Amino acid sequence: MITGCNQDVTYKGRVYHVQTEDRGKANPVIETLIYSGGEILASQKTSYSELLQSGYEESKVAAMLEQQHRRVVVDVKLGKYAKEEAKPFGEGIVTGKSLDEVILDYLTSESDGEKLAVTVLDQSEMAAGSNGRVQIKAASEISQSPVMGAQVQVTLATSDGLVKQLFKGATNAGGLCLATFSVPAVSESAVVIVDVSHPRGGKQLKYLVTRKQ
């Protein structure tokens, strides 16, 4: 069983409490309850029994829990659980966005507090005197939203103390960065170091440079 989420949300001066919990492997359900004034107004349940059949991964359940919690919070902010008659979405708001777009914007803003997850999508052999390639993806750890602007730097370091920058760039709007560079024809032992950095975290990767016999 993983840690749940608890959050107070205010809509038109009234406080609603949103609580999302994992009921555990014996009852594989993620349940969200919406309270106000000690009264349960509604609940939402999602089963993850299929995950148990295909192979339980706590990180996937945690991501499902987080996503369900955020969507219910959005519903509360939009007045879905208010006792007064609900007004049409967008009344009094000048916007050309659909409800789905508003929800997506909210989830994206919430993901700004998540740690950075770095994945290597593709890489070449780091051979001395040849072209090298590393494709990086930067995303939020739980929601997997792409992270733009993560700095990517590739450096060569040799056993005799030489340090040389081979590439410098940043991830795009899709969280991707393709670093292409030339690996110098070194004769001593060397490594290619890939540094990915962002205010939300970073990662360092090292690849041994192979040399021709």
Segment 96-126, tens digit of pLDDT: 566 666 665 655 555 555 688 899 999 999 9
pLDDT band at 86 (very low <50, low <70, confident <90, very high): very low
Distance separating the N- and C-terminal Cα atoms of the chain: 54
Q: Is residue 213 part of a domain?
A: no
Backbone angles phi, psi at 46, to 5 degrees: -135, 125
What is the token pair recorded at 25?
A: 């492997």
pLDDT band at 164 (very low <50, low <70, confident <90, very high): very high
Single pTM value for the model: 0.50
d(CA 85, CA 113): 34
Is 71 found in the same domain as 101? yes
Q: Are 126 and 207 in contact (CB under 8 A)?
A: yes
The pLDDT of residue 136 is above 90 = yes
Is 109 found in the same domain as 40? yes
Last residue of a domain, one of 54, 81, 113: 113
The pLDDT of residue 83 is above 90 = no
Last residue of a domain, one of 60, 79, 113: 113
Please state the domain count of the chain: 2
Last residue of a domain, one of 90, 113, 136: 113
d(CA 205, CA 198): 15
Is 174 found in the same domain as 124? yes
Contacts of residues 169-173 at CB distance under 8 Å and 24 or more positions apart, as own/partner, are 171/136, 171/137, 171/138, 171/146, 171/147, 172/148, 173/146, 173/148
The pLDDT of residue 21 is above 50 = yes
- Mean of per-residue pLDDT scores for the chain: 84
Is 141 found in the same domain as 45? no
d(CA 84, CA 44): 21
What's the domain range around 155? 116-208
Is 195 found in the same domain as 174? yes
HSE value, Cβ hemisphere, 13 Å, CA-based, for 8:
7
Residue-level pLDDT at 56: 79
